[in-house]
A and B are shown apart, each in its own frame.
Chain A
Amino acid sequence: MLTAEEKDELLGSVRDIKKRQNEMYGELRTMTKAFPKNDLGDPDFDGHRKDHIHRREYDTVLDEYKVDATKKIIWAIITLVGVLLASGFSEYLKRAIS
Chain B
Amino acid sequence: MLEKVYGPLSRAIFDSDMTAIRLTLSIAEMCWGVMLLWPGDTFARTTYTIMGAVTGEYTWAAVFFLTAIFQFSIVVQDDYHGKVARYFAAWNAWLWGFVVVLIVLSLHPPPAAIGGEIALMCAAIWIWARPFIIAEGLQRANR
A-side interface residues toward B, CB under 8 Å? Answer: 58-59, 61-63, 65-67, 69-71, 73-74, 88, 91
Q: Chain A nearest CB: distance from B32 CB in Å?
A: 24
User: Which of B2, B5, B10 lies in contact with A66, CB distance below 8 A?
Assistant: B10
- A70 nearest CB neighbor, chain B only: B10
- Give the size of the chain B interface in residues (CB under 8 angstroms): 19
Report B24-42 CB contacts with A as 1/0, cut-off 8 Å: 0000000000000000000
Are the C-beta atoms of B9 and A74 separated by less than 8 Å? yes
Interface centre among B109, B133, B136, B142 (most CB of A within 10 A): B133
* Of B2, B14, B141, the contact of A61 (CB 8 Å cutoff): B141
A-B contact count (CB 8 A): 42
Distance (Å) between the CB of B140 and the closest chain A CB?
A: 6
Residue of chain B at shortest CB distance from A58: B141
Establish whether residues A67 and B6, one from each chain, have CB atoms under 8 Å apart when the complex forms. Answer: yes
CA separation between A90 and B47, bound complex, in Å? Answer: 24
Minimum CB–CB distance from A79 to chain B (whole Å) comes to: 14
Query: How far is A96 from B69 in the complex, measured between Cα atoms in Å?
Result: 49
Q: Which residue of chain B has the shortest Cβ distance to A72 in the bound complex?
A: B133
Least Cβ–Cβ distance between B70 and chain A, in angstroms: 27
- Which of B14, B140, B141 interacts with A70 by CB under 8 Å? B14
Q: List 15 A-B contacts (CB under 8 A).
A: A58-B142, A61-B140, A62-B138, A63-B10, A65-B136, A65-B137, A65-B140, A66-B15, A67-B10, A69-B137, A70-B9, A70-B10, A74-B5, A74-B6, A91-B109
